Amino acid sequence: MSKPISVIVIGGSHAGLAISQKLLRQTSRAAITLINPSDEYYFNIAAPRFIVKPKSLPQSKYFYSIPEAFREYPAGAFAFVKGLVTKIDYSSKSVSVVFSVGSGPAIATSFVFDYLVIASGSTTPATLGQAGVRLPFKATAFEDTRQAIYQGQEMLKLAKRIVIGGAGPLGVELAGELAEAEGSKKITSENGTITPTAEKWLTLFGCLVWFFKGKDFLTYEAPKFLRGQMR
């Protein structure tokens, strides 16, 4: 029997899970190693709803066990590694992986591959807690997504005024959820355009829709700006 083809998949979210499942169904020649910092898949698409309204969905509807989803496949065909890829070396066809982050020393190892799938997606400063309120619209590394969700929910609950920078699909959806939830005045802000329908509905639900340029948003002084517009 020929040696299995080793495929490493980085990232256990929509793309990484789908490609792993599809490869496993289509061929028995591949040995897949899926690497993700959490052993849970996070259904982030519903995040605007459950971050604003914690009781709207139980956690079992947006966290799913990754190993459980692959339990039908034998160990030789599929392996899950809970870790973070820190380096890809194309000359040796290997990836370096750490198994923990934080104060203790990170344990590291490497895995070789014939084929590599990079499905590590994208993260934002807000997701990583680098700017303003941390709202986990994407999974955070090493299991603190649940904690981040809880903190985000509590912050939004206590907030009296909320500025949303950006009115793309996520900004509008978040504003709609906030407007529908019980609470005081909510604001959505943006630096381009918003569809007339979205503006009409947000206004109807009590949101203040404010148009301004990116530079103004970055430099405004929050309390002054808010007081000025709320009068």
Ligand X SMILES: Cc1cc2nc3c(=O)[nH]c(=O)nc-3n(C[C@H](O)[C@H](O)[C@H](O)COP(=O)(O)OP(=O)(O)OC[C@H]3O[C@@H](n4cnc5c(N)ncnc54)[C@H](O)[C@@H]3O)c2cc1C
Q: Which residues bind ligand X (CB under 6 A)?
A: 10-16, 35-37, 44-45, 47-48, 84-85, 119-122, 137-139, 170
Q: State the nearest-atom distance from the C-beta of 10 to ligand X, in Å.
A: 5
Q: State the nearest-atom distance from the C-beta of 197 to ligand X, in Å.
A: 17
Q: State the nearest-atom distance from the C-beta of 217 to ligand X, in Å.
A: 20
Cα–Cα distance between 23 and 21 in angstroms, integer? 6
For 38-71, letters b (16+ CB in 10 Å) and e give bebbbbbeebbbbbbbbeeeeeeebbeebeeebe
Q: State the nearest-atom distance from the C-beta of 13 to ligand X, in Å.
A: 3
118 versus 208: smaller Cβ distance to ligand X: 118
32 versus 85: smaller Cβ distance to ligand X: 85
139 versus 207: smaller Cβ distance to ligand X: 139
Single-letter amino acid code for the residue at 113: F
Which residue of this chain has its Cβ atom nearest to ligand X in the complex? 121
Residue 163 belongs to what H/E stretch? Answer: strand 163-165
Q: State the nearest-atom distance from the C-beta of 157 to ligand X, in Å.
A: 19
171 versus 225: smaller Cβ distance to ligand X: 171
Residue owning tokens 């990836």: 95
122 versus 197: smaller Cβ distance to ligand X: 122
Cα–Cα distance between 112 and 135 in angstroms, integer? 35
Cα–Cα distance between 61 and 142 in angstroms, integer? 20
Within 27-144, residue ranges assigned H as helices are 47-52, 66-69
